[in-house]
Structure formats: C-alpha cells, structure tokens
Structure 1
C-alpha cells in the first residue's frame, strides 16, 4: 500500500480533545511526553482533571444517541475516510511511533499496518450488525432480538503499541454506534490518543462522539472508570490493574461491562522433531521484537531436553547479532525501553534470576543509561518456580526451560496463571495442532511466532490474561448488546 499524497503534518498535540473541541486541561499537573531514547520533550500537555473527564462524558451522552441512529452507510463512510487518512499519513504515524514509543522501524510499520487493518475492517461493521427472529411457544407472539450499541465506552490503552492497541478498541466501538471517552497512557499521549482524535476529526466524526483525556492516572484514572455514563470499560494493560477494575466497576453506582486484555506468559515450545533453525529464528523474533514489550511475546522457551543444547546455541547466536541503538536508524533491532522505571524493573528481574540460580548465556550492559537500552539476556538452568519463568518480564529477557518429553512440555506450558498466546514447533503439523489444542491459551500457533493478530480472527486470552475478544464478529458481540422484544398479535394466555 502506497500513497502519493503528502498531507501537512498534524499539530496541536499540547491540548485535550473534549467534546469535539481542542482545549487546555484544567489540572495543575503537566504531562511531559518524553522520547525514550534521547530524552527530548516531544510535547507537554496540561493534564485533564476530573471536571474535564465529566465534560467528556456529558458530551458523549449527548452525542451518542444521534450517532447510533446515523444510517450504517454513513458510519461506514466515516470509518473508510479514517482508514484512508491513516493510509495517507503512514510515514507520519510510523515516525511518531518511533519517537514516542521507542519502536524500531520494522515494529512501527507493523503497528501501523495493524491499526490501518482494524480501521479498514471496521468500515464493514455497521452493516454486519443483525438481529434475529427467535422461536416462541405462542402462536400469537412474535419474538425478536435486536442488537444495539452498548452506549458510552471508556477505552484505556497502554504505551507499548499505542497506535494499534488504541485503534483496536476505538474503531469498532465507534463503527458500531457507541461514543468513546479515551484515556491513553501518559508515556504515549500522541500515538495513543491525540493522533486518533485528529484522524477522526478529519474524517468527519460528529462532535462529542469521541473525547481524549490526557492526565495522571492517580488524578483521572478513577473518574474515567467509575463515571456512571460509561456502560463498558475496555482496558488493555497489566493483570494487576485489570484485577483492580473489578472492584471499581462493581462499586460504582452503575455496574459496567468489562473488556480486559491483560498480561501474558507465552510459552514457546520446541518438540524433539522441530526444525531448530526455523524455531530459533521464530523465537528470537517472538521474544525480542520491540524489546519484549509486547503482551504476546514469547516469555519463556520450553525445549525438549534431547535438542536443548543445540537449540540454545542457535538462539544465542541469533540474539547476539541483534543490533541495539537509536530506533531512528533502520539497522537497529533493539530499541529503548519506554522509561527509566521500566528499565529499573527489568534490571531487578535480571538480578533476581541470577540470585535464584539461573545462568546467563547471553547478557550485556544493564544500566540502561545509554538511551534506555538493555541488550538481550538469555538464561538457562531455569526452574519453573523461578520468578523469571512465572512473571511477565516485558523486556528483552529469555528464560529457557528443559522438558523431559512432550507431556512434560505441555505441563510446563500450562503451569502459569496467564493464557494469552503460545507457540509450538514440530516437524509433524498434526502433532503440533493436537498439542496446541491442549494449551490453555486464547491463541496458539503451530510453527509460527507468538506475536500475531488478524482482523479476521478472535484475539484475546484465557485465565488471568483477560476477558472478551477483539476483531470481526467477536468484537461486534462485545461492543453491542442484545435487546429482546416480544409483540403479542393476539390474546395472550395469562396465568390468572
């Protein structure tokens, strides 16, 4: 996909987008958007306050009924225009993702592709919402199921893949007739939300249907989640925060629906008959893409003991060759960790792994002072009980565990509270499929990488990796609600 258009770059990313208007936030707190590699300030945004959040919800409540009543063709046209704008602004979006989220170019282009694909697919959603005529025991009764928008949806998106992970909730929600109040992560306010506001504003989305509030979580996090206007909260982020949302939405005046895409501990299983070179290549991509800052990343390798040493050698050789550095450099594969807090957390995980008894076969400088860069680290002699095998590292750390046989590999794969993505490599595809059907995850891949998404497939996790599914008919079901209506066309038989 290419375009010859060169639109003027978007500007004004120093304000909130509330009720269709760009305005200064009323909090005293300023959000500094910092380039994670060179420390430069991308923009400063005067933070939103609880009052700003309330204004956003009131605008959404006012605008949503008319937006829901807008003919499907018109809503589809706005989504198609947004997709065309996203296509025309491809390089602008890619560059912004590199600068703000620390993505290397290949990752930034991958995320742009996913965001565009979601928008393109969402243009079909308005015409795919259908009702049903259902059976009834009465010959005089007509029984109908209508499907309506949920109403106003709160979307809270993360910093690791912001252009895509925001669009994944936002585009379907809007296409299906909902209004949205969006809170992106403070580390990525531009590619996590303000860019989306500009795109939909340019596409002609009516005022009030979308608001983007930028602010500190301790100031506006609860107001965004607990506001009685929100019928559903769509959250992508950590499992710990996901757990806390249950109490918040349950304790608010209006009990809300929850859509949660949470953490992962994806197993990458290598059976005794696998092509080791192909598996090693896939594992290095699955683990070290975007410095491991992806919830689907291969968080641990589980390898049959008969091929373990040979496989470790191949993986280590490939990982050692990954070039760290400036994400603006096309040759860079390992870019920066998003912020200093995350760097310190990864360093603590490295130190804990060594203290537990894991042995590093590949490591490098871990100070993170040079552009928040941490090189790939690979550990062997890892026990399933070690923190590095049980917790989501969200960094370029790879623990490799030995499995006695296929049954042991399956047991290790399922020995986790998470269940998002998984991979298995084998020379027998039927064996691989049967193995994957026994893995407790929402998504699984035979001889493929863990990091995968498709607008045609159900995306989501099991266990503590989330609730609900994205994409196609699955997200249509999530972001609409059934409404049962009966019509009595004769005298009803009443009990008394």
Structure 2
C-alpha cells in the first residue's frame, strides 16, 4: 500500500523534488472544497532542467531491448492493479468524478498499458524496399522520436496522460509531462509512482507540478522535445499549433467537441434514451466526447424528449463518493459559474427549458433545452457540463446536415434499426469517430482515436500512435559499384 499523500512534489530525474518557487497549491475536493493536500510548485528552471535530463536519459533508454521496455510497462501495470483500492477514491476526490467514472478511467488506463506492451518491438523494425538502381538495397528503419512534451487536462487525467506516456516509453522515447495541477495526483504523480515502482531508469519520465503563471509557454517553446502532445480546449490547441508550426515540431492534439447524438425516424427510442443519458451525464458532461447536441427526427421527437427528461430528472446527484451518485460536482467553481452563464444566456436568448436544473455548490443538476435551433449559441458552444440542447430534424438527411454544421468534429452517434444505412450515414458525418446505436463516449487503445476540423490533429491508439511517436529513416546500401553519368 502506497501513501500517495507523501508524493506532493514533482518527479524529476527519478527523484521526488521540491519546487523551487516556494509556492504551494491546495488540491481541493470539488464537492465540499476540503483540502486533499498541497502540492509544491516547480519553477521554469526546473522544467528546463527536466528537458535536458530527459534528452540525456532518452539516448540510453533508446538502446534498451524490447523485452526490457515490455517488462517495465507490465510492472507499472501491476502497480495500478495492486493499488486500485487507494487510487479509485483518490481519483474521485480529486476530479469530482463519481466512483463509476473513476473505475472506468482506471480500467481504461490499465488497458493502455496492456496495449503498449504489445508494440514495444515496433521500434527498430526494418523494411526492405526494392531499387531500380543495380546493387542498391533500401532499408526503411523505424526509430524512437526522442523527447515528448506531454500536457493533460483535468477531466480524465490519468487516462489522457497515460495514452501519451505509455506508448512513448514503450517506443524508446522520454517524456516531460505536465498534468493540470488541480488533479496533480491522478494526472501525474500516481503514474510517476507506477513507473518508479517498475524500475524505469531515471529521467525517462519527468512529471512537473507547476502552473502557467510560472512556466508560460515553456512546455511548447523548449527546443528539446520533438512532439507536443496536448489534450484540452481548441483555443489553446490553436496556440500550440502556431508555436509548433513555427518551430517545426510535431503535434498530437485532441481538442474540443460539439458532439451530435442523432436519433433517426426508425430508431428504438427507449434504447436511444438509455445511451443518451449515459453519453451526456457520465462525469457531469466533462468529457470532450460527451454528447453536446441531441438531434431527433420530428417523427419521434416528442417521445424521445419526454422519456429523456424523465430519466434525467431522476438521476441521483451530489457527493461523488456516494456510490449511488451519477451527477457529481464540476471540477471547480469557475466551471460551475461558466455553466450557469451558458444557461442564463440561453434563457435570455429565448431558448425553452424542458428541464430546469439547479446549482448546489459546484453541482449543476441536469438542464435540458428543447426546440433549439442549431444556429443558437447554446447549440454551437461546448457545454462541458450537464447542459444539453435537443434539436428537431425534418428528415434523416437534415439530421446529418445539422450534425455537420459546427466547427468541431470529434465524436458522434447515430441511432437506427437499419444497421447498414446507419454505417453509410456515419461516413457522412465529418467527425473522427461515429458510433452506430451507441453513445459518443467510447475509447479503446487499439482504435484510431482523434478528431477532425477544430477537434484536433493526429490519432491515438495502436498502430496509429506508433507512427506518431517514431521517426522513419531511409538507409540505402550500395553493394555494387555504381556508374555515374559524370
């Protein structure tokens, strides 16, 4: 059993290191505001040193065998499994997520490690390509990329951190990782503890507990990392993209979403309601993949609306540590106030409430707007809360057009009893992922996970992540003297 409360520092070069700023940050339980622990804030100088350390460590780590890398990945996996009973409630306390959500997140994190262990030998693979030049052999090598700069958000912090960290390490890279300090344990220090337990060499993984006041763009502008991996908002993603483009760095960006859930005229309404309730209210709607707009064919609109409202009205809310709770608190007061502002602005704009929620501390209970037009502000903004818009479509084709009328393109869903047509329509939705007869919140480490348009660049998941986190090199070997024209 590990006392995670002792790990309230950054993890740099294999050591738990006090921050040099002299500042500390109180990590709060979003439900009652109680202090879980305080965290020592690292300095910009410590961040810069971490990149230098990672660059040096990566050169040695890249020489290790696939078996060594696999063993360490599996040992870190063992740590998470052995400490599940301590990790799940701490994750709930820190993120505001329910016990259901925390168990789901830990399981997804475990699956990422399991999958990473399967592709450790993808690096240093060599393909032989034929040549038109006599006596020439072409070899295509796959090599580690180098150092990766990793930035993760507050909502699914362990999962969204590990999906960069585990593949990077498995493929011979080093990582400097900055979690959102609101969720310092879940997003960083538990992961660092797992790899420390696993025997990962010093400097291969560095977890920096700091804030933007201290480091500014230090995770982005440092010349050492070859790739910036970021999950978060689209405005920040655009900023990262600009800096990365200027410095010719690769990016893996998973950004915002305005995810449509489409109910066609032939859908099984009861099953669609079941799926929509989960896809909207898991983690209070604070997942980039959560349903943001529900688009329903006019023939089943009133039936779906009535059943959805009744189900949402009955969802238990409150303390996330109560096993019965479905809707817990938003992560902080700022997010709760932002949700309230969206609701008030929509009401002032004339949008109609089918279910009016209430605010209790940082808890926002389910809030449903009906007869929303897709052009309304409430439909075009990413809610990241238990607030949802329900839009009526005149036809199935109209539903697809409405779904595509957004700058985002992360996840989407289509409900229909015609499976074949459902897949055809899925291909017409401009999003990175579409789920037929399911909801929008789906993830797995062996699928192509990522968004289109303003929802991101690149794809996570095996084998796509292998391409993202390695570099391809052509080596040609001339075994026979080559005649040149001059």
In the other structure, the counterpart of 1:207 is: 202
- Give the alignment's Cα RMSD to 1 decimal: 1.1
Question: In structure 2, do the counterparts of structure 1 residues 405 and 493 end up closer, same or farther at CA, with 3 Å as the change threshold?
Answer: farther
In the other structure, the counterpart of 2:179 is: 184
8 Å Cα contact 1:13-1:43 kept in structure 2: no
TM-score, reference length from structure 1: 0.96
**Moved >3 Å (runs of 4+):** 8-11
8 Å Cα contact 1:357-1:381 kept in structure 2: no
Which whole-Å CA distance do the structure 1 matches of 2:164 and 2:353 have between them? 39
Which of 435, 439, 444 is the equivalent residue of 2:434? 444
Match runs of 1:298-337 below 5 Å? 298-337=291-330
Q: Deviations over 1:104-151 (max 9, x none)?
A: 011100001100000111111212333311121112111111001110
In the other structure, the counterpart of 2:249 is: 256
Which of 367, 381, 391 is the equivalent residue of 1:401? 391
Which of 3, 11, 16 is the equivalent residue of 2:10? 16
In the other structure, the counterpart of 2:289 is: 296
Question: In structure 2, do the counterparts of structure 1 residues 249 and 397 end up closer, same or farther at CA, with 3 Å as the change threshold?
Answer: same
Which of 35, 38, 42 is the equivalent residue of 2:36? 42
8 Å Cα contact 2:13-2:204 kept in structure 1: yes
Specify the SS of the correspondent of 2:181.
coil
Which of 350, 354, 358 is the equivalent residue of 1:357? 350
Q: Deviations over 1:386-443 (max 9, x none)?
A: 1111111100011000000011001001001111110000111111111101111111
Task: Give the CA deviation at 1:10.
Answer: 3.2
Specify the SS of the correspondent of 1:422.
strand
Which of 170, 174, 181 is the equivalent residue of 1:175? 170
In the other structure, the counterpart of 2:84 is: 90
In the other structure, the counterpart of 2:262 is: 269
More moved, 398-407 vs 11-20: 11-20
8 Å Cα contact 1:380-1:401 kept in structure 2: yes
The reply on whether 1:62 has 2:56 as its aligned counterpart is yes
Task: Give the CA deviation at 1:96.
Answer: 1.3
When the two structures are aligned, how many residues end up with a matched partner?
Answer: 485
Which whole-Å CA distance do the structure 1 matches of 2:485 and 2:302 have between them? 75
Which whole-Å CA distance do the structure 2 matches of 1:131 and 1:487 have between them? 13
Which of 423, 434, 454 is the equivalent residue of 1:464? 454
Question: In structure 2, do the counterparts of structure 1 residues 116 and 258 end up closer, same or farther at CA, with 3 Å as the change threshold?
Answer: same
Which of 206, 212, 219 is the equivalent residue of 1:217? 212
Which whole-Å CA distance do the structure 1 matches of 2:212 and 2:483 have between them? 55
In the other structure, the counterpart of 2:193 is: 198
More moved, 228-237 vs 350-359: 350-359
8 Å Cα contact 2:256-2:288 kept in structure 1: yes
Specify the SS of the correspondent of 2:6.
coil
Specify the SS of the correspondent of 2:4.
coil
8 Å Cα contact 1:262-1:464 kept in structure 2: yes
Question: In structure 2, do the counterparts of structure 1 residues 48 and 8 end up closer, same or farther at CA, with 3 Å as the change threshold?
Answer: closer
8 Å Cα contact 2:5-2:37 kept in structure 1: no
5+ residue gaps in structure 2? Answer: none
Which whole-Å CA distance do the structure 2 matches of 1:41 and 1:335 have between them? 17
Task: Give the CA deviation at 1:364.
Answer: 2.2
Q: Deviations over 1:214-268 (max 9, x none)?
A: 111132241111111111000000000000012222344xx21111000111100
5+ residue gaps in structure 1? Answer: 1-6
Question: In structure 2, do the counterparts of structure 1 residues 434 and 386 end up closer, same or farther at CA, with 3 Å as the change threshold?
Answer: same
TM-score, reference length from structure 2: 0.98
